[in-house]
Amino acid sequence: MDTTTQATAGGLAALDAAVRRDLDIIRYPRKEWTPQLEHKGQRVLDVAIIGAGQGGLATAFALKRTNITNVRIFDRAAKGGEGPWITFSRMITLRTPKYVTGPDLGVPSLTPRSWYEARYGAEAWEKLDKIPREEWQDYLDWYRDILDLPVANDHEFTGVTWEDGLLRLSFRRPDGSTHVHYARKLVLATGIEGCGTWYVPEFIRDSLPRDRYAHTSENIDFAALKGKRIGVLGAGASAFDNAATALEAGAGSVTLCLRRKEIPSINPYRWMENTGFLAYYPALSDDLRWGFMRRIFELNQPPPQDTFWRCRRHETFSFRTGCPWTGTRMDGDEIVVDSPDGEMRFDFVIIGTGFATDLSLRPETASFAPSVALWGERYTPPAECDSAVLKTYPYLGDSYQFLPRRADDPLAPMLANIHNFTFSATPSMGLSGASISGMRFGVERLARGLGRDLYVADGKQHLESLLSYDVPELVSLDPPVA
C-alpha cells in the first residue's frame, strides 16, 4: 500500500468514525414507534422505496432519523449500478456547484465535501471545480454502506395493487423468479423518467432500423462510431454530452441540430437554488406554481459552458440552430434527415429529446394510471399561458402522494399511500428527489409526510399504548445509602 492509499484509507476510517459519533449524538428519540403488522405470513413494510439512487437512499436515511426503520429499498440494478452516474450519464462532472448538500440532511460529516476531503485531502477539494460523476457514485456507495441502508438489488418492480388495505408489490429477479412484498407506504424514487418514458419522435422510430439510432439514455457503443458521421437531435445538456463523447471516441463528424433559434443559455436551476423556492414553493397557489414551471420548462437546462467547449474544441463538431428534423429515411446504407436547411446524411443518429410524462407507460404506475389526477384536469391556465407538456404531469398532494381524478374512485385510498418522488413531481413540489439541488428540502418534506400519515393511521393504538403504560420512574421513597 503506497503513501497516498494509506492516507486515503486513514482519512475514510476517521470519517466513518465521525459519522457514527455524530449520528449517535443526535439520535433522539431512541426508540422505534411504528407497530409491526403481518399479512399472509409476511412482515408488512412501513415504507417500501423503489429506486436506490440518491433520492431513494436519502429518503431511507430521513426515515431512519425519525426511527422509522421497517423500510426497504428495491432496485433493479446490481449493486453500484443504481442511477445514471455510471450507466448513461456522459457528463464529466455534476452540473451543480461542488458545495451542494442534500443526502447528508444537515449532518456535516456526511456531506460530499467531508467525504471528498477524507479521500483526497482538503487541498484537492479547494482545487476542485465540480464533482466528477464517477466520484458522486462512489460517494453514494459509501453513504449507503456507512448508514447501513437496507437495499435489495436485482429486484425489478413490476407493479402494485391494493389488497386488504395494503399495497401489494410485485417484483421479478434476474433468474425469472417473482416475489411479493406488502407495504403500508410506497415511494417511487425512480428518477427523471420515473413517470413516463424517454422520448424518440415517431417518424424516427417508424423509418430507421433500431441499430441506427439511440436515445441519450441508452447504452451506446461509442467505439463503434469511430470515423462515422453522427447526427444529434436536441438542445439540452445530455445532447451535448453525447455529442462530446462521440467526438472523443473518434467520430468522423458530429452535427448537433436544435429547433430553437438559439442554444439555451440561461439555467433556471441556478435561480431555483434559494431557500425560499426550495422550501416553500409547494405552498404557492396553482396559478403561481404554473407560472413558475411554465417559465422553467421554457428555458430548459442549457449545456454548461465546459460541456459546450468540450464539443467545440473538435473541428469536426458543428451545430445548427432553427433546424428541427422533419423526417428521416434510409437511402441505401445512409440515414437521410430532412430539415428546413435541406437534407443531411449520417451513419448514426443520437436522440436527445428528453422524455414524455405518461403514467400508463411505466410498470410502477400503469395499474393505477387512469385514476391519477393530472395538472391539466385540476388547473386551467389563461390561454396565453397554456402548456401541453405541463398538463400531462401528475397533480400531487402535500407529501408527494398521488391524488384521484374523482373523490369516489375506489383506488383513492391506494393512491394516498403512493408517493411520487420522481422528476414528474416538479410542477407540484418543486425540485426534489431527481435533483441534487433540491434533495434535502424534498426528502425532509417527504419523510415528515410519511411519518405523519403512519402516526395518524395508528393514532388509536398509540393512545392505547399510553393508557396501558405503567413503567414507574419513581421507584423508592427512601434516599440511597451513602
Domain range list for the chain: 3-195+357-462, 200-265+302-353
For the segment 430-477, what is each residue's pLDDT rounded down to a tens digit? 987 678 888 889 999 999 999 999 999 999 999 999 999 999 999 888
pLDDT over threshold 90, residue 166: yes
How far is CA 429 from its chain centroid? Answer: 14
pLDDT of residue 8: 67
CATH H superfamily, domain 3-195+357-462? FAD/NAD(P)-binding domain (3.50.50.60)
d(CA 186, CA 399): 12
**Amino acid code (one letter) for 271:** W
Query: Which residues are paired to 420 by β-bridges?
Result: 188
Q: Sort 5 into a burial class: Cβ within 10 Å, 0-12 / 13-18 / 19+.
A: exposed
Helix, strand counts (H, E) of the chain: 16, 19
Question: How do residues 260-273 score in pLDDT, each as one tens digit?
Answer: 999 988 889 889 98
Tell me what percent of the residues of the chain surpass a pLDDT of 90. 85
pLDDT value of position 436: 87
pLDDT digits (tens, 9 = 90+) for 343-377: 999 999 999 998 999 999 998 999 999 999 999 99
pLDDT at residue 3 in the model:
41
pLDDT in tens, 200-243: 999 999 999 999 999 999 999 999 999 999 999 998 899 999 99
How many residues does the structure list for the chain? 482
The pLDDT of residue 7 is above 70: no
Cell triple for 12: 475514510
pLDDT tens column, 116-157: 999 999 999 999 999 999 999 999 999 999 999 999 999 999
How many Cβ atoms from other residues are within 10 Å of residue 438's Cβ? 25
Q: What are the cell numbers at 74?
A: 428495491
334 forms beta bridges with 331
CA 123, CA 396: separation in Å to the nearest integer? Answer: 44
pLDDT computed for residue 435 by the predictor: 84
Where are the strands (E) in 205-343, listed by range? Answer: 213-215, 229-233, 253-257, 317-320, 327-331, 334-338
Q: What is the pLDDT of residue 9?
A: 63
Give the angle subtended at the CA of 73 by the CAs of 67 and 78, to the nearest 5°.
145
Task: Say what the pLDDT of residue 1 is.
Answer: 45
Q: What is the mean pLDDT of the chain?
A: 94
- Cα-Cα-Cα-Cα dihedral of 284, 289, 292, 295, to 10°? -170
* pLDDT of 108 above 60: yes
pLDDT higher at 481 or 293: 293
Q: Do domains 3-195+357-462 and 200-265+302-353 have the same CATH topology?
A: yes
Alpha-carbon distance of 113 to 101, in angstroms, equals 9
d(CA 318, CA 108): 44
Residue among 103, 102, 97, 131 nearest 117 (CA): 131
Hey, how many other C-beta atoms are within 10 angstroms of the C-beta on 343? 11
Q: Are 416 and 422 in contact (CB under 8 A)?
A: no
Percent of the chain scoring above 70 in pLDDT: 98
Query: What backbone torsions phi and psi does residue 184 show, to the nearest 5 degrees?
Result: -85, -35
Contact between 16 and 146 under an 8 Å Cβ cutoff? The reply is yes
**CATH ID of 200-265+302-353, from 3.20.20.70, 3.50.50.60, 1.10.287.610, 3.40.50.300:** 3.50.50.60
Task: Give the N- to C-terminal CA distance of the chain in Å, as an integer.
Answer: 57
Residues 348, 213 contacting (CB under 8 angstroms)? yes
Is residue 94 within 8 Å of 131, Cβ to Cβ?
yes
- Report the interhelical angle of 133-146 vs 112-120 (nearest 10°): 100
Q: What are phi and psi of 65, to 5 degrees?
A: -60, -30
Q: Which helix (H) or strand (E) holds 6?
A: helix 3-25
Q: Look at residue 55 in the predicted model and tell me its pLDDT.
A: 95
Element (H, E) at 412: helix 412-415
Query: pLDDT band for position 79 (50/70/90)?
Result: very high
Whole-angstrom distance, CA of residue 357 vs CA of residue 193 = 8
Confidence of residue 74 (pLDDT cuts 50, 70, 90): very high
- Grid cell for residue 399: 407529501
Q: Where are the beta strands (DSSP E) in 120-174?
A: 151-152, 156-163, 166-172
- The single residue listed with the C-alpha cell 405523519 is 452
Q: Are 104 and 110 in contact (CB under 8 A)?
A: yes
CA distance 480 to 58: 48
pLDDT of residue 269: 87
> Residue range 315-320: average pLDDT?
97
pLDDT in tens, 171-198: 999 999 999 999 999 999 999 889 999 9
